[in-house]
Structure 1
Amino acid sequence: METNQEKKSGLGFISHIWNEWIATFVILSLLLLTLIIGTGEMIHGQMLRLGENLYGDPKTGMQYSFLRAEPETPTCDRNPNVDALVQQQMQSNAKDEFADIFGTSSQEDVRKSVLAGKKLCEDKYAFHDTATKYLDDHPSIRPYRTMETTFFGIFQFGSDNKAILLILMVVLAAITTTLKIHHIGLRSPSTRLDYRVYAVAMTAANALLTSSAISQYQSVVRSGVPMTTEMSVIYWLWMILFSVLTLISIYQFFIVPKSAKTGGNIGLSLLSVPLYAFMAIITGVAFTFFMDYPMGQGIYLGQLVEFSSIFLNLALFIWAGMLLKQTRIVDVFLNILRPWNLAPETLTWIILIGAALPTAYTGASGIFVIAAGAIIYKEVWNAGGRRQFALATAAMSGSLGVVLRPCLLIVVVASLNKEVTTDLLYHYGLYVFLITSTMFLLVSLFFAEQKFRIASPAEALPRSAKALLSVIPYVIVFLLVWMFYKYALNTNMNEFTAPVMMPIILLIMVLYEKLRHQPAPLAAVGHWDSTLAENTPEQIANQAHVSTEKVARDDNPNNPERQVSFWKAIHLSASETVGHIGALVILMALSVSVGGFLERIEIMELFPTDISSIYIVITLIVALMIFVGMIMDPFGAVILISATVAPVAYKYGIDPVHFWMITLIGFELGYVSPPVALNHLLARQSIGDEEVAAADAEVRHMSFYYRYERWILPLIVMFPAMLIIAYVPYMFKLFGWYQ
């Protein structure tokens, strides 16, 4: 939101230094430490095994585990006076009424015991002498031991302090997001009134959160319950965070960006308030003034601590998504399709199927929308698709893959519900994916102006085959990392290891591109990637309403802005990661607070418990899941549903796997449904407000459907799919869900 002029002075300069360097560097360090933690146990196990293979000696019985520290010199007496010790023990036994029971009353027994102790002492000295000599004879042991124990220390420190690492990451990211005015809202502020209303709401929200965090800390102190150092640090971090955010928001009320327009109206300004602020104000007012529960928000923020491993994995997935954005992977794969000149609807269907896998491997739908939404939008548009259709595609690009392995959301569901396993959910999730993707193809073809279009195979196949060769290096990188983990670390890629492996794979892919001096994608440096189109620069310029010279300059691989070094690419990805962690994780934290509020007012008690028809039960569940998806993020929603609705559904006889398939697809339908439509908001962040406004402007004269296609298309795809998934398995006992 800052202009270059604003960055040169005042808070703008401090904000720029903080955002681009301090927070980025620290959070990049924390992400790398999280990678070390995630893979540390595997690596450390292999280091111990390697140490044993290198330095273990079966002949002498010396093991590497004996040598991980300097041998301690024994303190026992090697040459004791045996007779004196025997007499001393006999005198002691005479006073011990239990000596007979343990068989130590006779002098012979006592002498045997003393001699055994002497031998044990001799063995200790012998081991010390042998180990010391062994270390001296093998000088490389000490350096290797230092490396191994140092790595173990870092890994162990991280494992013991995961919660602090997460909260510290959230603190830095949330401050950055607030300084950049990057929180997720229905629209971005643009006028002076927008910024003022935004700042007032943020001040109120953060003040309530500060008060709640302080109240929670004081409550724990007054209770007299011993507080660990870790929890004390976490409480202070929360109090510092929301206090700082309150001060920043107050400053932003008085200092409006110079780029802000004049005018505005209160209705649109309220739409500029971040969703997180709305949630904080609603729950803060309710807990503090109506429930006499001022520490409520602070307590529910503790869910982040309880599930720190999952949220750290989410941070890694966000980073993976931003690293994906720094590569040409999406573009390279799309090059295989471009020569066929497919109809926009057919091309979009293939893209969505292809996008399902990276969606699953980047943890959740929103992350992939942020990372690749702009590229997908431009590809569909340049293939001849309507802008509104392209916007709908971008918003849906992350929706289909959330039920596929190894999506993190499934892991959260399985961790909170012992009735289901990840294997079962992923298995039936594949059927859900097939249903939703097929529905998209049928609906998009129904509204297509040109049902089918394909280039001549004689022309397209050679070009497509040539493009396929460019994909091979990326496949090789993936296979090499996978093989390293599988064979060197004895670990396969699955839903538990993917958060660690994906950033490493993408880091190597970024390095590969930079070593080959490949230009960065224009989307990665803040421009449209005009190379995604088969159109000429003149056609692209006319479509984008920019000059032909600008298109030609951006399209030029030698453009200095596209010559990004490896370290610059890492910096850019980390900088974007900071903003998205701050926006997404803080939104999730407040979603949990909203869930806690709904739980405390016992809204789920309104769910009938005496319904005789299973169809009515399913209908109520479907409606509830869509509503929850409209107002909450997926992770917070899963926590709420697991504690409230799931037990009721199980009592009605709904199979747990079927229930969670309904829930997940209901969430995804909610994420593309007004009034919030989280995936549309994330797509807008990726694509840009100006492009979305241009898409709306060009269809103002058209019929209702085409004016609102970006909202309607996802609904008429996902809603029928929702009905099929909810009712058909029960009616026909499909997939064996009901016996």
Structure 2
Amino acid sequence: MSSGGFANRTWQEWLSSLPAFFLLLGVIAYTTSADIHAQLLKLGQSTWDSYFDLRNDPQAPTCDPSINIDAELARLVATHKAEAVEDEFGLFDDEPLDTESMRESLENSKSLCQEKFESFESIQGQMTTGVIIYRTVERFVADVVAFGLSAQKFILAFLVLICAATATLSRHQIAMRPMESALDHRWSSLLQFIANSMLFYSSIEFWALSYVGKESIDAAREGIHASWVIGFGLLAICSLYQLVNIPKDAKKGGSFGHAMLSVPLYTQMCLISGTYFMLQGHTAGIGVYLDKMMDFSDMFLNLGLYVWTGMMLKETRLASLVFNTFRPFRMPTELLAFVAVVVAAVPTAYTGASGIFVIAVGAVIYQELRRAGARRQLALATTAMSGSMGVVLRPCLLVVIIAYLNRDVTTDELFYWGNRVFFLTAFLFLAFVWLTRDKEVKNNPAPLSQAIPEALKLMLPILPYVVIVAGVVIFYHVVLDTALNEFSAPRILPVMMLGFLVYEHFTRKRVSSASVAMAGDSDHVEPEYQGIERATRTSINETTAHIGALLLLMGLSVSIGGVMERSGVMELFPTVFDSQFAAMTALVVLLVFVGMVMDPYGAVILVNATVAVIAFDSGIEPLHFWMVCLVAFELGYLSPPVALNHLLTRQVVGEDEVDQARNEGTTFWRRHEKILLPLLTMGTALLLVAYVPLWYMSN
């Protein structure tokens, strides 16, 4: 049996990757089924005028269409007279009967009854075999959609817990430093065990709290509570297993400081928030805030689909082929880095979060920059920034959420100024990367007359991918009446990636890797292609670990937001500032800090509920404030000591590359370029976005 056979699959593939694969496919299935169902209803109505009546078996009317008007009228008159005789005390006025009105009413009722029977017989007559088969299919699709929507929260809970257990057992959680020594492993596993035990206990308390004042709770809520309790119990067992099974290849010794830095960020957040809530006597606190993920289950499931999309993209040749088209120009690596961050802004706008994009495509960008000759520090800086510029572009979901939460701004306004912020940030990146280039390196750009024909030739292999993209987009638009936007992208992009994998399965040659070199790059050897099954399996394996690490971190960042909200930290902030410049300065510092410790979606919700009103009352325009907010968040994700985008970059690139980067360069800038270049770019952009409009309005 080949290496890709069933016998050689690991425990992770059987117990986590395979279930995660079916869960993600299920999300795509029921969300796409909603589009299919809408089209089935339209087609049914256009084929049969009364299809909405044909969807269900008609019920025969209970009235009598052949009623004798005269006999019924006589019966009603007799009944009225009998009731008058029984009224011996004269309690009711003996009003004369209006027999003409009664007859008219009976005739109308008879006419309406006959119409009901005619409609019933007409529907029965149209109930052909074709209608019955069609409505059976349509109602089945409707049931799939209804089941998917009702199971959406369960899917998210299972996905988070399965993937979190995988990330824990594979030591793939996001931390500021990797675990290297035995001391690192011991302290990290111990604190993870304590944190997971806190989550387990808090979930039990939250479950019990749900019964307060109630005899019972909804069965679905009961199931969610049970899922959290069982899942966090298993997580605690996983971390306990890691504690007693230190890897044999772990280095001896180690320092306490490094060990603390190797503790995953979600663990640190859980210990902080859990300790706070327990001291406040609110032991269910973490469970309450973590459960808020269920209110945005569709959003978090979409993030999982985006991660899977990126992992499948990494298994294709598309990114390499795109970068190949720039090689004939022999442009400096600094200019190529600029091209990379600008091109990456478009897919980032669909994912809606820079961290998601770094996880999804960061490894591809880093590899291609290194292949083009970029130094490691520059490649790491570019990878960390690759998603930072696109969060202000249409159709970024984060901007849509801001507009949804605030009636003072619209998406059109935010995207209009977002385009200008994007061009500003791109220009600053180009300026700083060019000013800090290696001046000793002599560039020899190719003549355009030579480079353009070669680049056009290298674009030919990309055309099939363009055809696949166009085909999928046209299919969804024409057949399902669904355009590619921020709402449909999560279910459409994975279909495109699967199309790429199918195409490559039938076109890539299975030859020795030693004989396969990328066009225009004789130093790069393309790995041997193993087929669609291996590519899909590899992508879902990586997706599982990344989803577990990222979604658990996002969930615990919500609890940190709860601590900030309940502790009154925000109340220490002045409610209004006399000076707009003073208000902006304080807000910039606070927003950057929030961006350092919270995921973007949770941060927007927290800021909208607490900080936004302070800005507005201090005279800062809502549109101006939210643009500052978006840029400040991105600076926060790039700022030490947390620097989440750098942590995600290290996770997808590999610790070996980061270690080698630390030893490169002879100047302070070169040794720390991966941190300094993003800080300088986004920091300058933030200062300009924050203060130039205030200065302009004050003059």
State TM-score, norm by structure 1.
0.86
1:63 maps to 2:56:
no
Q: Which range moved further: 478-487 or 294-303?
A: 478-487
CA offsets 1:347-385 (integer angstroms, 9 cap, x no match): 111111111112222332112212222222232223332
What amino acid is the match of 2:446?
A: A
Kept after mapping to 1: 8 A contact 2:175/2:262? yes
Matched, 1:704 2:668: yes
> Separation in 2 of the partners of 1:85 and 1:127?
24
Q: Report the Cα distance in structure 2 between the residues aligned to 1:114 and 1:323, rounded to whole angstroms.
A: 70
Is structure 2 residue 304 aligned with structure 1 residue 311? no
Distance of aligned partners of 1:609 and 1:68 in 2 relative to their CA distance in 1, 3 Å threshold? closer
CA deviation digits over 1:160-209, x for unaligned, max 9? 44333322322222222222222111122122222211111111111111
Matches within 5 A, 1:277-296: 277-289=267-279, 291-296=280-285
Distance, in Å, in 1 between the alignment partners of 2:258 and 2:561 is 27
Once residues 618 and 97 of structure 2 are traced to their aligned partners in structure 1, the CA distance between those partners, rounded to angstroms, is 70
Match of 2:161 in 1: 171
Query: Counterpart of 1:455 in 2: which secondary structure?
Result: coil
Counterpart contact for 2:308–2:539, Cα < 8 Å = yes
| Corresponding residue for residue 441 of structure 1 | 430
Counterpart contact for 1:382–1:532, Cα < 8 Å = no
**1:607 corresponds to which letter in structure 2?**
F
Aligned equivalent of 1:49:
42
**Deviation, structure 1 residue 492:** 2.8
Instruction: Tell me, yes or no, if structure 1 residue 717 matches structure 2 residue 681.
Output: yes
**Equivalents in 1 of 2:682, 2:325: separation in Å?**
28
Shifted more, 307-316 versus 717-726: the winner is 307-316
Tell me the residue number matched to 2:124: 132
The match for 1:141 among 114, 131, 135 is 131
C-alpha change, 1:519 and 1:159, in structure 2 (3 Å) is: farther
Compared CA separation, residues 421 and 495, structure 1 to 2 (3 A): farther
Using the aligned pairs only, state the percent identity: 40
Q: How far is 1:83 from its partner? A: 6.1
**1:505 CA displacement:** 2.6
**Alignment match, 1:275:** 265
**Aligned residue type for 2:275:** V
Task: State the SS of the aligned residue for 1:188.
Answer: coil
Name which of structure 1's ranges 167-176 and 239-248 shifts more when overlaid on structure 2.
167-176
Question: What is the match of residue 357 of structure 1?
Answer: 346
State the secondary structure of the residue aligned to 1:674: coil
Which shows bigger deviation, 657-666 or 40-49? 40-49
1:245 lines up with 2:235 in the alignment = yes
Confirm whether residue 338 of structure 1 aligns to residue 327 of structure 2: yes
Task: Give the conservation status (yes or no) of the 8 Å contact 2:579–2:618.
Answer: no
For 1:695, give the aligned amino acid. A
On the 8 A contact 1:90/1:110 being kept in 2, the answer is: no
User: Separation in 2 of the partners of 1:40 and 1:414?
Assistant: 28
Q: How far did residue 716 of structure 1 move? A: 1.4
* Structure 2 CA distance for partners of 1:104 and 1:300, relative to 1, 3 Å: farther
Asked whether the 8 Å contact 1:341–1:383 carries over to 2, the reply is no
Separation (CA, whole Å) in 2 of partners of 1:90 and 1:202: 85
Return the alpha-carbon distance in structure 2 between the equivalents of residues 268 and 91 of structure 1: 99
Verify: 1:424 aligned to 2:413, yes or no: yes
Q: Secondary structure at the match of 2:373?
A: coil
Report the secondary structure of 1:205's partner residue. helix
Q: What do the CA deviations read for 1:380-413 (whole angstroms, capped 9, x no partner)?
A: 2233322111111111111111111122222232
Matches of 1:51 and 1:696, distance apart in 2: 64
Q: State the number of aligned residues.
A: 685
In structure 2, relative to structure 1, the CA distance for the partners of 1:22 and 1:663 (3 Å cut) is same
Q: 1:664 to 1:83 in 2, by over 3 A?
A: same
Letter in 2 for 1:571: R
1:207 matched to 2:197? The reply is: yes
TM superposition shift of 1:285? 0.5
**Structure 2 stretches of 5 or more lacking a match?**
none
Q: Bigger CA drift: 611-620 or 121-130?
A: 121-130
- The answer for the alignment partner of 2:530 in structure 1 is 563
Structure-to-structure mapping, 1:498-509, within 5 angstroms: 498-509=489-500
The equivalences for 1:635-650 within 5 A come to 635-650=601-616
CA 1:227–1:84: 2 relative to 1, 3 Å: farther
Residue of structure 1 aligned with 2:479, choices 471, 479, 488: 488
Query: How far apart are the structure 1 equivalents of 2:481 and 2:522?
Result: 50
CA displacement, residues 231-279 of structure 1 (integer Å, 9 cap, x when unaligned): 2222222112211111111122112233433332222111111100000
What is aligned with 2:318? Answer: 329
Distance change in 2, residues 1:535/1:574 (3 Å): closer
Once the two structures are superposed, residues 513-559 of structure 1 have per-residue CA deviations (whole angstroms, 9 ceiling, x without a partner) of 22323679x9xxxxx9995695544xx7xxxxxxxxxxxxxx256x3
Distance 1:40 1:556, change over 3 A: closer
Offset from partner CA, 1:148-170 (integer Å, 9 cap, x none):
11001111222244333322322
Would the aligned equivalents of 2:576 and 2:614 in 1 still touch at CA under 8 Å? no
The separation in 2 between residues aligned to 1:22 and 1:130, in whole angstroms, is 55
Moved more, 124-133 or 139-148: 124-133
Distance change (3 Å), C-alpha of 1:386 and 1:52: same
Give the AA of the match of 1:52: Q
CA offsets, 1:93-150, max 9 Å, x none? 56599xx99x9954454455445445544444443433333223xx222222111110
**Deviations, residues 554-594 of structure 1 (Å, cap 9, x unaligned):** x256x3xx2222x4433333332222221111111111110
Alignment counterpart, residue 23 of structure 2, candidates 25, 30, 51: 30
| Structure 1 Cα separation of the partners of residues 150 and 413 of structure 2 | 32
Q: How far is the alpha carbon of 1:645 from its aligned partner?
A: 0.8
> Which consecutive unaligned segments of at least 5 residues does structure 1 have?
57-61, 523-527, 541-554
Larger CA deviation: 633-642 vs 312-321: 312-321
Q: Quote the residue 1:393 is aligned against.
A: 382
What letter matches 2:689 in structure 1? I
Counterparts of 1:448-463 in structure 2 under 5 Å? 448-450=437-439, 453-463=444-454
| Structure 2 residue 572 is matched with structure 1 residue 580 | no
Q: Tell me if 1:476 matches 2:463.
A: no
Q: Using the alignment, how far apart are the partners of 2:307 and 2:170 within structure 1?
A: 18
Q: Is residue 559 of structure 2 the alignment partner of residue 593 of structure 1?
A: yes
Deviates more, 1:408-417 or 1:486-495: 486-495
Amino acid at match of 1:207: S
For the 8 Å contact 2:557–2:602, the answer to whether it is kept is yes
CA offsets, 1:582-616, max 9 Å, x none? 11111111111101101111111122235322111
Contact 2:23 2:159 in 1 (8 A): yes
| Equivalent AA in structure 2 for residue 153 of structure 1 | D
TM-score, length basis structure 2: 0.91
Cα distance 1:577–1:89, how it changes in 2: closer, same or farther (>3 A)? farther
Letter in 1 for 2:160: V
Query: In structure 1, what residue type is equivalent to 2:570?
Result: M
Q: Distance in 2 between matches of 1:668 and 1:636?
A: 14
User: Cα distance 1:428–1:390, how it changes in 2: closer, same or farther (>3 A)?
Assistant: same
The residue identity in structure 2 corresponding to 1:510 is L
Contact 1:23 1:578 in 2 (8 A): yes
Q: Does the CA-based 8 Å contact 2:172-2:545 persist in structure 1? A: yes
Q: Residue 120 and residue 633 in structure 1: after superposition, are their counterparts in 2 closer, same or farther (change >3 A)?
A: same
The residue identity in structure 1 corresponding to 2:141 is F
User: What is the letter of the counterpart of residue 468 of structure 1?
Assistant: M
Tell me how far apart the structure 2 counterparts of residues 124 and 261 of structure 1 sit (CA, whole Å): 84
- Residue type matched to 1:63 in 2? S
Corresponding residue of 1:551: none
Aligned-pair CA distance for 1:286: 0.7
- Contact kept in structure 1, 2:266 and 2:552, CA below 8 Å: yes
* Counterpart contact for 2:324–2:519, Cα < 8 Å: no
